[in-house]
Structure 1
Amino acid sequence: MDVRAELSFLRVSPKKVRLVTNLVRGLSAQDAEVQLAVLDKAAAGPLTKLLKSALANAKQNHQLEPEQLYVKHFLTNEGPKLKRYRPRAHGRAAIIRKRSSHVTLVLGSRGAAAPKSNAEAKPAAKQEAPK
Structure 2
Amino acid sequence: MADFDRSYRAVYRYARVSPQKARRIMDTVRGRQVDEALAVLKGLPHRPARMIEKAIASALANAQDRQDMDPSELHVMTAIVDEGPRMKRLRPICRGMATIIQKRMSHLTVVLQPR
Q: TM-score, normalised by structure 1?
A: 0.82
Among 91, 97, 119, the alignment partner of 2:96 is: 91
> Does residue 20 of structure 1 match 2:25?
yes
Among 43, 50, 61, the alignment partner of 2:48 is: 43
Question: SS of 1:31's equivalent?
Answer: helix
Question: SS of 1:65's equivalent?
Answer: coil
Aligned equivalents of 1:62, 1:76: Cα separation in 2: 27
Which 4+ stretches in 1 moved above 2 angstroms? none
How many residues are aligned here?
Answer: 110
Aligned equivalents of 2:29, 2:50: Cα separation in 1: 14
- 1:2-81 matches, within 5 Å, as 2-81=7-86
Question: SS of 2:61's equivalent?
Answer: helix
Q: CA deviation at 1:90?
A: 1.3
> Can you give the 5+ residue segments of structure 1 that lack an aligned partner in the other structure?
111-131
Residues 21-79 of structure 1, C-alpha deviations (whole Å, 9 max, x = no match): 00000101010000000001011112111111111110111322101000000000001
Question: SS of 1:100's equivalent?
Answer: strand
Aligned equivalents of 2:46, 2:34: Cα separation in 1: 19
Partner of 2:87: 82
Question: SS of 1:66's equivalent?
Answer: coil
Larger Rg: 1
Q: CA deviation at 1:17?
A: 0.4
Aligned equivalents of 1:7, 1:86: Cα separation in 2: 29
Q: Give 1 or 2: higher helix fraction.
A: 2
Partner of 1:113: none
Amino-acid identity (%):
40
Aligned equivalents of 1:89, 1:99: Cα separation in 2: 25
How well do the aligned residues superpose, as a CA RMSD in angstroms?
A: 0.8
Q: TM-score, normalised by structure 2?
A: 0.92
Q: Give 1 or 2: higher strand fraction.
A: 2
> Can you give the 5+ residue segments of structure 2 that lack an aligned partner in the other structure?
1-5
Question: SS of 1:64's equivalent?
Answer: coil
